Amino acid sequence: MILRPALPGDAAAMAALQNLIIRIGGTTAYETERSEDQVRAYVDGPGAISCFVAEDGGRVIGFQSLGLWPGLEEGWADIGTFVDPAVQARGTGAALFGATKAAARMAGVRVINATIRADNVPGLAYYARMGFRDHGSEPDFTLRDGRRVGRVHRRFDF
């Protein structure tokens, strides 16, 4: 596995991975597929702090973004993690978070926020393993189809 900063040219592969995860369902709050331009914003959009990709055999198998998000306090940033389901729980997310933590420190981030669907058991377990702790919840968070899944807000403090 190779870990490196994401480049604008990675947006197509990143969008394909994110859209695969969206189509499978259950582990992201995104409900509709995302365009290459929407995903490219993780790399060089106005709120982007960092974005790293993990590659295996030249194929993007995961990425993690860190950025400013409306409504977060100063010194806070929001994280998003997307790993190919075929390679989850094999260290890709941990490697990505190591790079993201270093970038966050360099950018002066004091707290990283993760918002996870409450029914996303693998995502909740991942962020707990990385050292995130609960700081809020939205038990009534509802998907477009009317299913109430809730959301959990977790934080990582430096």
Tens digit of each residue's pLDDT (9 = 90 or more) over 91-127: 899 999 999 999 999 999 999 999 999 999 999 999 9
Give the CA distances from residue 97 to residues 51, 108, 150, in Å, rounded to whole numbers and listed in that order: 10, 16, 24
User: Any residues with CB less than 8 A from the CB of 32 and at least 6 apart, and which?
Assistant: 22
User: Residue 29 has what pLDDT?
Assistant: 83
Per-residue confidence (pLDDT) for residue 34, from 0 to 100 = 95
Instruction: Write down the domain spans for the chain.
Output: 2-112
Residue 110 to residue 134: CA distance in whole angstroms:
16
Segments of the chain scoring below 50 in pLDDT? none
pTM for this entry: 0.94
Single-letter code of the amino acid located at 114: A
CATH class of 2-112: alpha beta
- In the block, residue with structure tokens 């870990």: 3
Under a CB-based contact definition with an 8 Å cutoff, are residues 79 and 111 in contact? Answer: no
The two tokens of residue 154 are 């977790």
User: Which residues, in sequence order, are bridge partners of residue 153?
Assistant: 115, 136
Distance CA 35, CA 155 (A): 28
